[in-house]
Amino acid sequence: MRKKIVAGNWKMNKSFEQGINLVDDLINSFAIHQCPEILKIIIPPFIHLNEIGKKISSIPDIELGAQNCSNNDNGAFTGEISADMLSSCGVKYVLVGHSERRIYFNENSSLLSQKIIVSLKHNITPILCVGENLEERNSNKHLEAVKQQLKEAAFNLSPADFSKIIIAYEPVWAIGTGVTATSHQAQGMHNHIRTEINKKYGKEISESISILYGGSCNPENTKELFSCIDVDGGLIGGSSLKANDFVAIANSF
Ligand code: PGA
């Protein structure tokens, strides 16, 4: 059985106080609307991590994730945060290759590959984000584009390391736009990703990897998206900023 996961990427939202309030609301709401079989990952900005880590440390089905980490181990890299530091705050997951980082911060596959390796070294599970842009979708190049991203960032890993990662399919045209992929489009791409993993690493690994869908998920559309056979959960942006919506999404499996 693959792990079912709902991850909330807060992006650059919430002051420290607002973030703590949101986590308190999430903890209280999940205590009422329990779904212990679903792994919930909270991915706040860096400055919230330590305090939120303490708050959720005794809750087994809620874990902490970071939005980014340095590709370097430690040292003179002003402004960067290392995987080692994240680990020391209780971080268990890290987003790698979110399209906003690829587009606004020019992150390329070689950098992403280094980030995956350094995270794994510090026992942090990378959530590798892949997804085509609108032009690639409209010109029917979406399958090739996603395959390329996957290959370049992660197919250099050993089978043992690859089996530890999580993939998030996030079509760029669906992120923050209110336009979500149809369940048919999501299932098609998730199946494609799993097939490519199967070709490279074999059936056992391809069947064990969780593949999340991201892009304008909300409590109204996740029930259908999560019912797709190859969709193992969601990476949620905007709807993770409201406790009720995020809890409803986690309960929509
Ligand atoms: P969205 O963001 O849910 O606001 O579309 C998803 C993401 O960027 O991970």
Torsion of CA 187, 192, 198, 203, to 10 degrees: 20
Which pair of structure tokens corresponds to residue 15?
A: 């002051």
What would the mean pLDDT of 146-156 be, rounded to a whole number? 98
The CA distance from 35 to 12, in Å, is 27
Query: pLDDT tens-digit profile of 235-251?
Result: 999 999 999 999 999 99
Q: Of 76, 55, 84, 74, nearest to 66 (Cα)?
A: 84
Query: pLDDT tens-digit profile of 155-175?
Result: 999 999 999 999 999 999 999
Catalytic residues: 98, 170
Kindly state if the Cβ of 8 falls inside 6 Å of ligand 1.
Answer: no
Confidence of residue 79 (pLDDT cuts 50, 70, 90): very high
Strand, coil or helix: 213: strand
Kindly state if the Cβ of 219 falls inside 6 Å of ligand 1.
Answer: no
Closest-CA residue, ligand 1 atom 9, reads 237
Q: What is the CA radius of gyration of the chain?
A: 17
**Is the pLDDT at 1 greater than 90, yes or no?**
no
**Residue 159: alpha-carbon gap to chain centroid:** 20
Ligand 1 atom closest to the CA of 11, numbered from 1? 8
pLDDT of residue 82: 98
Percent of the chain with pLDDT over 90: 99
246 and 26 Cβ atoms separated by less than 8 Å: yes
pLDDT of residue 132: 98
How many residues are listed for the chain in this entry? 253
Helical H segments across the chain, by residue range: 16-32, 49-56, 83-88, 99-104, 109-121, 134-138, 142-154, 159-162, 183-201, 203-208, 222-226, 243-250
Strand, coil or helix: 120: helix
Distance 250 CA to ligand 1 centre (A): 15
What would the mean pLDDT of 123-135 be, rounded to a whole number? 98
User: Which residue among 68, 166, 235 has the greatest number of ligand 1 atoms within 8 angstroms of its CB, and so is best to mutate?
Assistant: 235
Average pLDDT of the residues of the chain: 97
Ligand 1 atom closest to the CA of 95, numbered from 1? 9
Q: pTM of this prediction?
A: 0.97
